[in-house]
Amino acid sequence: MYLKTLTLENFRCYEQTRIELPRGLVVVLGPNASGKTTLLEAVYLLATTTSPRSGPARAMVRHGQSWGRVTGVFERDGREVTISVTLGDPSGSRSGSKTVEVDGREVDSLREAIGRVQASLFWVGSLEVVKGSPSERRRFMNEAIGQTSARYLDDLARYRRALRQRNELLRSIRARGGSGSILAPWTRALVDAGVPIIEDRASFVRALAAEAAPMHLRLGAGAEELSVQYDPSVAAGSDLDAEDEFYQRLEETHEREVERGSTQVGPHRDDVILTVDGVDVRRFGSQGQQRTAALALTLAQASVARVRTETEPILLLDDCLSELDPARGAAMLDLSEDREQMIVTSACCPEHLAERLADAHVIDTGGELASCRPCRIPDIEGRNTESHHGP
Ligand SMILES: Nc1ncnc2c1ncn2[C@@H]1O[C@H](COP(=O)(O)OP(=O)(O)OP(=O)(O)O)[C@@H](O)[C@H]1O
Ligand SMILES: [Mg+2]
């Protein structure tokens, strides 16, 4: 699938901008703070209905305005899909709201819109998947699986609700005493929602690992081998299935959970083990190793989504070129050859990649995007690439 047109209205630094994009490699070039990451953020918002950046939805609305909107026309299997996300309410009555329309029809729940469009994003926050706390890796799993399975999102919502209620009860038992039996309905709800989450994560990480290792090699990390392994809080043992195991572990940890006022085991304590040549890259990887591992995970996730949805996700790669060495940078750009669309941002055109970039479609955020200005990147042989966008 690919994005054909992107329209931004009052979206962060953009006032009114319409951009046409072709298939293949698209390079967004422009100085710092010119709106490159914002473009990728807009595409990601259309795919997932949320921003990768933290903060409330209204933070995406252009300062001084009461509403903003992003609209994308995508082509998927020869058919057009139009998605638009409106932040705030242009009529002024429901400020702070977020509405999503698919082909002009407002969807009842955001969940309905998720997964219509597949996109995989690599940006500075993706590094946290490798070097951040386990919660970052859980978030990565949740977003990746959620993009291809609405049922997973439902299980996750049920699990979070059960966990919250159960923890409240544990705190009340700690404060006022009481029998553990009042927990039973919430324990059951926790296990019922938790077991499919554990199974989905196990199968996702297996698929991810198979894609990530060759991707990591391809990115030019030489003979270094990336291994990705699910590290569940409740693992199905040899003679117990996940459900029995979950009940048993909750029972074993009951004293501690009352003492601490929180559930001690379950998918909310899962992690993913990442090693490069057997060394824990989460804690001991060099910056470059962590970056390459994070990039390999993003690309592997896109491959898993491609297999599961039979659709090629759009790859959104923010600011990768500047930090990768020449071989890794070239390997990354070469990936676009077998992808339907890959949108890459860069603050400058690295000289060693100029020839490779000369064939790409360029969007220049440094100029007035809205004024339909042709943009140029000189390459080492003096050729120019031109592209027109606007109005
Ligand atoms: N709600 C908003 N209203 C107006 N401007 C905003 C809003 N949110 C962010 N901005 C501004 O948008 C500009 C573009 O940000 P963006 O992160 O897209 O830049 P960038 O081109 O990716 O920069 P860099 O090369 O430094 O990564 C910034 O100057 C930022 O302050
Ligand atoms: Mg940026």
Q: Mutate which of 11, 32, 38 to test ligand 1's pocket (most atoms within 8 Å of Cβ)?
A: 38
From the number of C-beta atoms within 10 Å of its C-beta (0-12, 13-18, 19+), residue 61 rates as buried
The predicted pLDDT at position 253 comes to: 96
Strand order in the sheet with 314-317: 119-122, 314-317, 341-346, 24-29, 361-364
φ and ψ at 62, to 5 degrees?
Answer: -55, 135
Taking 50 as the threshold, does the pLDDT of residue 332 lie above it? yes
**Residue of the CA atom closest to atom 5 of ligand 1:** 13
pTM of the full predicted structure? 0.86
The predicted pLDDT at position 178 comes to: 80
Distance 121 CA to ligand 1 centre (A): 17
The predicted pLDDT at position 93 comes to: 66
CA–CA separation, 83 and 73 (whole Å) = 7
The predicted pLDDT at position 377 comes to: 34
Q: Is 166 in the pocket of ligand 1 (CB under 6 A)?
A: no
**Residue of the CA atom closest to atom 24 of ligand 1:** 32
The predicted pLDDT at position 147 comes to: 85
- Straight-line distance from the first to the last Cα atom of the chain, in angstroms, rounded to the nearest whole number: 24
pLDDT tens digits for range 141-159:
999 998 888 899 999 999 9
- Give the atom of ligand 1 at the shortest distance from the alpha carbon of 30: 21
- Give the atom of ligand 1 at the shortest distance from the alpha carbon of 38: 18
Which CATH code fits 126-310? 1.20.1050.90
Average pLDDT over residues 146-175: 94
Query: Any idea which of 8-22, 88-102, 189-203 has the lowest mean pLDDT?
Result: 88-102
Mean pLDDT computed over every residue of the chain? 87
Q: Is 37 in the pocket of ligand 1 (CB under 6 A)?
A: yes
**Residue of the CA atom closest to atom 2 of ligand 1:** 12
DSSP letters for 187-249: HHHHHHHHHHHHHHHHHHHHHHHHHHHHHHHHTT-TT--EEEEEE-SS---SSS-HHHHHHHH
Taking 70 as the threshold, does the pLDDT of residue 333 lie above it? yes
Q: Mutate which of 8, 9, 36, 363 to test ligand 1's pocket (most atoms within 8 Å of Cβ)?
A: 36
pLDDT band at 380 (very low <50, low <70, confident <90, very high): very low
- Give the atom of ligand 1 at the shortest distance from the alpha carbon of 13: 5
36-48 helix and 134-148 helix, angle to the nearest 10 degrees? 60
Distance 129 CA to ligand 1 centre (A): 23
The predicted pLDDT at position 363 comes to: 92
Q: Is 32 in the pocket of ligand 1 (CB under 6 A)?
A: yes
φ and ψ at 103, to 5 degrees?
Answer: 50, 45
Q: Mutate which of 34, 45, 320 to test ligand 1's pocket (most atoms within 8 Å of Cβ)?
A: 34
Q: Mutate which of 6, 9, 12, 365 to test ligand 1's pocket (most atoms within 8 Å of Cβ)?
A: 12
Are residues 40 and 135 in contact, defined by beta-carbon separation less than 8 angstroms? no
CA–CA separation, 73 and 226 (whole Å) = 36
Q: Is 364 in the pocket of ligand 1 (CB under 6 A)?
A: no
Query: Any idea which of 45-59, 86-100, 200-214, 285-299 has the lowest mean pLDDT?
Result: 86-100
pLDDT tens digits for range 199-221:
999 999 999 999 999 999 988 75
**Residue of the CA atom closest to atom 18 of ligand 1:** 35
Q: Is 361 in the pocket of ligand 1 (CB under 6 A)?
A: no
CA–CA separation, 265 and 74 (whole Å) = 42
Distance 295 CA to ligand 2 centre (A): 16
pLDDT band at 239 (very low <50, low <70, confident <90, very high): low
Taking 80 as the threshold, does the pLDDT of residue 391 lie above it? no
Amino acid at 203: S
Do 1-118+315-391 and 126-310 show the same overall fold? no
The predicted pLDDT at position 191 comes to: 97
Question: In 19-88, which residue ranges form alpha helices assigned H by DSSP?
Answer: 36-48
The predicted pLDDT at position 25 comes to: 93
63, 69, 75, 81 alpha-carbon torsion, rounded to 10°: 160
Q: Is 347 in the pocket of ligand 1 (CB under 6 A)?
A: yes
242-252 helix and 184-218 helix, angle to the nearest 10 degrees? 120
Count of residues in the chain: 391
Taking 50 as the threshold, does the pLDDT of residue 352 lie above it? yes
Give residue limits of the domains in the chain: 1-118+315-391, 126-310
The predicted pLDDT at position 115 comes to: 75
pLDDT tens digits for range 111-132:
777 778 889 999 999 999 999 9
* Higher per-residue pLDDT: 59 or 236: 59
Are residues 282 and 131 in contact, defined by beta-carbon separation less than 8 angstroms? yes
Which CATH code fits 1-118+315-391? 3.40.50.300
